[in-house]
Chain A
């Protein structure tokens, strides 16, 4: 069974950093692009970042560009999101998702909650 499990969320003060992790299993991790998508409480879905299968292509939403860094370790079947200079508006449930092969997201983790507050 294909599975994604996020971790690393929590309560953090504005301006501080947090690193999210996503452990993948049940599929050949390095065959697929991966993404982070977030959802603020009671709101819709927002794409955050993308990384290609080998890390050679990376993109970010304007709202996080310059503050967040996506990376992956194919040997460990893991995806990461380093979040610096956190703001209150970054408060959200962060999902790790897998590319179906053409750009849609077919597998989602259960999400990890990030709360930015003093």
Chain B
């Protein structure tokens, strides 16, 4: 099983600041990496797939990069609606596995 490790666990930032979230895979997942956003009481929402492709309707302030085992989600300028938990997920191997999440909270 591929273990996905996200860092940091919590990120405390102010609106307008840049957020950089990391995700590391225990072995290569090629470019088969997705990022999801989850707000309290809501289902996850797909932000990025294929490591860098924004899903339909996702604002341009969200960008993804990386390959093989190291991936990054960047939010260029945090908006109030971006404070949430973010998960990475690999879909290169079975079982599909998620990271433990990074909580982006207001500083």
Return chain A residues, CB-CB under 8 Å to B46: 100, 104-106
Return chain B residues, CB-CB under 8 Å to A46: 98
Return chain B residues, CB-CB under 8 Å to A103: 32, 34, 49, 91-92, 96
Report whether over half of chain B's contact residues are helix, strand or loop; otherwise say mixed.
Answer: loop
Beta-carbon contact of B91 and A102 below 8 Å: yes
Return chain A residues, CB-CB under 8 Å to B56: 106
In whole angstroms, how far apart are the Cα atoms of A61 and B34 in the complex? 19
For B50-85 the 0/1 string (1 means CB < 8 A from A) is 100001100000000000000000000000000000
Inter-chain residue pair count (beta carbon < 8 A): 62
- Who on chain A is nearest to B49 by CB? A104
Q: Which of A10-18, A24-32, A66-74, A108-116 contacts B (4 or more CB under 8 A)?
A: A108-116
- Which chain A residues (71-110) contact chain B, with CB distance < 8 Å? 95, 100, 102-106, 108-110
Return chain A residues, CB-CB under 8 Å to B92: 103
Beta-carbon contact of B55 and A106 below 8 Å: yes
Beta-carbon contact of A44 and B32 below 8 Å: no
Contacts A100-B46, A108-B43, A110-B43; A45 near B87 (Cβ below 8 A) = yes
Beta-carbon contact of B49 and A47 below 8 Å: no
- Seen from chain A, the residues whose Cβ lies within 8 Å of a Cβ on chain B are 35, 44-47, 50, 59, 61-62, 95, 100, 102-106, 108-111
- Seen from chain B, the residues whose Cβ lies within 8 Å of a Cβ on chain A are 32, 34, 36, 38, 43-46, 49-50, 55-56, 87, 89, 91-92, 94-101
